[in-house]
Structure 1
C-alpha cells in the first residue's frame, strides 16, 4: 500500500499554534486529514523570542493532531508574522541571453537576482520572498509575464519581503527542535490568501487583512499578484487589554467579555453582569461602553490599513474588497466596522469551499493561514523528492544560508 502524502501548514501565532494536514485525493476537494492546536508560548508580536518554549508549543499542537488523525508529521510549510517584516522595491536589468532574443526562465531568474543585488545593504535582515511586479522588454513596459517574449534587454521591478534575521533563526530553531523540517517559510497574509481569496479577487484587486492576537498583517493583490504588504502593531489582544483597563477586570474575564459581546448585544441586554461568567464578579457595565472600546481599537487598525492603501494609491479602489481572516475576524460585527472605515465591500474568510474530510474543524477565519500554507505546499509540489529538489530551489538556497549562520 502506497504511503500517504500530506501537505502540512504550521501557523505559529502570538497566542496559538495551529497545524493542518491536507491530502490530495482523486476528488477535486482537498481532504482535511488532521488538525491540531495549542497555546503559543515564547512568541511575541508574531516573532519567536524563546525557541525552546515555542518548540514545546509546536509539539503540543502536533500531539493534538495525532489524537484525531494518527498522522506523525515530520515536515511542514511554516508561517512568519514578524512585526519587523520590511518591504523593498528594487529594479534590475540584464541582456537577454538567447541569440534569437527570446526571454527564457534563466533570463527571468537572472534579472530578479540583479534586482536583489541592487537592494541597499540590509543589516540583520534576510529575504523571505521576491515578487516581480512588472517587466520591461526593450520599449514594452509594465508587462506581467515576460517569458517567451523577444527583445534585447530585460528589466524588472521586484517587491522583496525581508524578515529580521534573529527572528528567522529562532523560527528555524523552534520548528526543528519540535522534530519538523521546514519545507518553506511564507509570510502570513500571503499564505492566508491561498485559502481565503479567489483567483478573481486577486485579479481585480483585493486586500486580505489577517487580524491576529498581537499584530494584524495585510496583503494587497492586483492582476493576480501580490503588490504590497504591511504589518500593523495592533491585534485582537489589544482589544482584550483595553477592556481589562476600561473596566478594571482581569484579562481572562476581559477576553470572555470580548468573545461574548455579540451574544449580549443580540439579546438586547442593557447591562452585562460579570456574574454571568464562570467567575463571580459584582461589577456591571454598559454594553454600549464596551462596544465603544472595541470600536475605538478597531478604528486604530482600520485607520492604519486606510493609510497604507492611500500610500500605494489604492484607497477605495479594490473591487474585490476586503477579506478578513485570523482570530480577530470573529469579533462581533467587525465586517460593518471595516466597511464603514474602508468604504469597500467586506467579507469574512475563508469558509470550507474546496475542502472535504474534517472540514468542520477548520471553518473559522483563524484557520485561513494554516490551510493556506498547506495549499501553498501543494502548489509548490513537484514529482522529485522534497530533499533532492529543496536545495536547488530559491528557498533551498536561503535555507542553506540560514543553516550556515546557525552553526557556531
Structure 2
C-alpha cells in the first residue's frame, strides 16, 4: 500500500507540538513521531522574537524526527491570533453549457467568485470554505455536481489573517528547513480532532483554550457557521494567580497545573492550605480556586457572546465543547454548564493508531486536528492556493529534486 508522509506543527504561546505521521489510503494514518517543547518568542499567537521562536520550533521538530527516524520536509501549520478575521460571503455564476449540468469546474469557478471578497491591504485570505450551495434558488445543497440548473450560488465562510503575522510565522518555519504545506486556522483543526459529526450537524460551539488565545468555532448543519479568536486564555489565569497571591509567574503556572480547580467544593478541599517550598509561601486552596474561577467565568461569558443570537441554545443544541490546555482545569465543564446553561463536555483528540498517551489530552487537539484537516477538507480553498505560494512550493520542490 502506498504510504504518504504528513506532519503538523502547532506553534503556541506556551508550547510547540510537532506530530509526524504515515498516511495509509485515504483516511487512516499512524503517528510515528511527536515533539513537544516549551515555546519562547510568541505572545497571544504572534511571533514577537524571531530567533527565540525559531529555536523553539527547531527543538520540537528535532525531537519528533528522532522518534520518527526520518527528516521532516514539510508540515501543516496552525495559525491563531486577534489579527484573524472572518465573514460569510456569497458567490454566484451562470451555468452556460447546453445541458445546464453542474460540473466540478463550476464549483471551482463559483468559489473563485466568492474568493473575490475585498480584503484590506494588510490582510490575506487564509480559507474560503463552502458552507452550502444554491441551484436555481434551491438552497441547502451540499454537493451540486450532476444537478441541472442555470445558476449556481455558494455560501462561504471566509477567514483572513494579517500578512505580517503570517510572514513572521512562516519565516520561522522555513528557517529551520521545513516547507509550509498550508496554514490552518487552529479552531478548524481542533474541531476535526474533538467534535463528532452529529454535533456539527445539530449545532455546537467549540472553545479551544490555549495559553495565549481562546479560539472559537461554531458549527451548524455540518458546516462552519462562525469563527473568532478571544485574547483571554491560560496566560491571564496564571497572571491573575501571580498578582493575586504575590508569587512569581513560574510558580503560579506550576500551581495552576497541579492544583487548579474551579469547583473545589466538590472535592471537599476548600478549607485546606498547602505550603509551598518556594519563597516559604503558605497559600489557601480556596483562595487559589477563587482566583481561577473568576477569570474562567469571565472567559465563559465572552464565549457565549460569540454566539450571534440571543436564543443561542437553539443554535447549538449539542452545547459547548471545551478543548486546549485550559480545558484540563478540574471542574471546568461543571462551571461552564452553570454559566452558559448549555450541555458541556471536555474534548480530547480522537483515538488514532500510534497515538501515545501524551497526545490523549485536550492540549494536543490542534496538533492532531491539523493532520485530520488535510484528509477531510481537500475541497476548500486556502492560503496554499495563492499564486505566490504555488510558485514558492514549485521552486522548493525543484530544488529538492536536484539535491537528490
Cα deviations across residues 294-317 of structure 1 (Å, max 9, x unaligned)?
A: 111111111111111144863453
Which TM-score applies when normalising by structure 2? 0.88
Cα deviations across residues 154-187 of structure 1 (Å, max 9, x unaligned)?
A: 2222210000110011111111111111111111
Say which is worse superposed, 364-373 or 192-201, in terms of deviation. 192-201
Q: Can you give the 5+ residue segments of structure 1 that lack an aligned partner in the other structure? A: 383-392
Query: Hey, what does 2:335 align to over in structure 1?
Result: 337
**Cα offset for 1:116?**
2.5
Instruction: Give the direction of change, closer, same or farther, for the CA distance of 1:394–1:192 in structure 2 (3 Å limit).
Output: closer
Query: Hey, what does 1:220 align to over in structure 2?
Result: 218
Query: Hey, what does 2:174 align to over in structure 1?
Result: 176
- CA distance in structure 2 between the aligned counterparts of 1:108 and 1:27, rounded to whole angstroms: 22
- CA distance in structure 2 between the aligned counterparts of 1:305 and 1:257, rounded to whole angstroms: 25
- 2:365 pairs with 1:368: yes
- CA distance in structure 2 between the aligned counterparts of 1:93 and 1:28, rounded to whole angstroms: 32
Query: Hey, what does 1:165 align to over in structure 2?
Result: 163
- CA distance in structure 2 between the aligned counterparts of 1:245 and 1:238, rounded to whole angstroms: 10
Query: Hey, what does 1:306 align to over in structure 2?
Result: 304
Aligned residues, how many?
A: 388
Query: Hey, what does 1:16 align to over in structure 2?
Result: 15
- CA distance in structure 1 between the aligned counterparts of 2:139 and 2:371, rounded to whole angstroms: 35
Is residue 348–residue 361 contact of structure 2 (8 Å, CA) maintained in 1?
yes
Which TM-score applies when normalising by structure 1? 0.87
Is residue 128–residue 159 contact of structure 2 (8 Å, CA) maintained in 1?
yes
**Cα offset for 1:248?**
0.9
- 2:273 pairs with 1:272: yes
Cα deviations across residues 34-83 of structure 1 (Å, max 9, x unaligned)?
A: 11011112211112233332221111001221343323211111100122
For residues 170-209 of structure 1, the aligned pairs below 5 Å read 170-209=168-207
Is residue 50–residue 170 contact of structure 1 (8 Å, CA) maintained in 2?
no
Instruction: Give the direction of change, closer, same or farther, for the CA distance of 1:399–1:288 in structure 2 (3 Å limit).
Output: farther
- CA distance in structure 2 between the aligned counterparts of 1:54 and 1:48, rounded to whole angstroms: 7
SS in 1 for 2:312: coil
Q: Can you give the 5+ residue segments of structure 2 that lack an aligned partner in the other structure? A: 393-404
For residues 277-356 of structure 1, the aligned pairs below 5 Å read 277=277, 279-281=278-280, 283-311=281-309, 314-315=312-313, 317-353=315-351, 355-356=352-353
SS in 2 for 1:179: coil
